[in-house]
Each structure stands twice: as structure tokens, then as C-alpha cells.
Structure 1
Amino acid sequence: MTDTFTDLYQRAKNKESFHSLNDIITSRNNILLAYRTIKSNKGSKTPGTDGNPIVDIEERSENELVEEIQSRLKNYCPKKVRRKLIEKDNGKMRPLGIPCILDRIIQQWF
């Protein structure tokens, strides 16, 4: 995955847009890399938002894990995000992503 991520990074530095990353995201190698990364985190023993700790996932085979994640992501469609540049304390600007659902509420603040 390192080569893939390096390529994406270089293309992003060149201001290239990406429209279809789902094949990369749902690839077996990426899912297993993400799992290993999460598992190695200091807080990985803490239950997730579903209330299940990582040991529940460890009981599954790699194939079961990959297939479940791929099936959950199969029809995933990200929501649009409104970009707004906000000023930092040091005078520089940073981007803020506002999910579409909150867009109307946030517009009042800017």
C-alpha cells in the first residue's frame, strides 16, 4: 500500500482531483493494514462506538473481516462537504470541512 499512498500523495500535491478511490479503500490490503494500525494503537482495547472491543474482531478470520468491511462499504456514498477557510491565531488560514447536513446552520456563523 505504500506505493499506492505515495502515488496518491504526489498527485494530491499537484492539485489533482480524485473521483473514484473506492477500489483502493476496499482493497484487502488496505483493510488489513487499517486493522493492524488500529490494533497497534494504545487505546485499541477501549470499546468502539458499537460497544465492542477489538478482541471481538480478533475472533474473526481475515476473510470474514475483509468481506464484512467490503460489504458495509459497497454502497457507501460520502456526503458533500462545504469548504471554508478560517483564520488561525497566527494569521494563517486553514480549511474547515462542514458536512452538508450542518451547512445551513453553520452559514449563520460565517
Structure 2
Amino acid sequence: MDMRKQDGITLIEKIATTSNLVVACEKVYKNKGAAGIDGITVYEIDDHMVKYQKAIIAKLLDGTYEPQPVKRVSIPKENGSMRNLGIPVVRDRVVQQAILQII
């Protein structure tokens, strides 16, 4: 199956651009949220992305990007039961947002 669009660019090529990842970073930062298993917070994501952005783009383009495991936490609900949450690392949230922006 040909994955190319009419403009000759695949979806992953559109997703894995510096400009798309920068916008995704900004949106993840504004949304706040807890750190994942790596302990990196949204407040540290700019420095992290500057350091690893080229590697993330390369892994997205060659199909080797793998999200990290999610951090499992339980929070109490009003009725006394617990709600289970999975918190992805911030880098994976940025990649998810970058995908969402294109599709």
C-alpha cells in the first residue's frame, strides 16, 4: 500500500518535523500534568527536547520509536473506590500530541 499523500509526503514525515514537535511541546506544557516514570516534568521538556529532538525525529521516521512504559497510579474517587491512571512520560505525550495535530 502506498502511504504517500498527494503532496508526496507521508503522514510520519509530516508528524516528525521540528515545527510540529515544537507546537506539540507548547501544548503539552500548557496542559501541565505529572511526570512519568522517567521523572521529567513539563517544566523540563524544553531542555529535554532540545537535547533529544533529532534522535526522536530519526526514530519516528525509521519506525524504531518506542514509547516508554506508563507510570501506574491510583487516585481516590468520591464514592471511596479508586481510579487507576496511566501517566506517560512527557516525551511520549509530545509525540502523541504531534500525531494528533497531523491526523
TM-score bracket, normalised by the shorter chain, equals 0.3 to 0.5
Question: Larger Cα Rg: Structure 1 or Structure 2?
Answer: 1
Q: TM-score, with normalisation over the residues of structure 2? A: 0.43
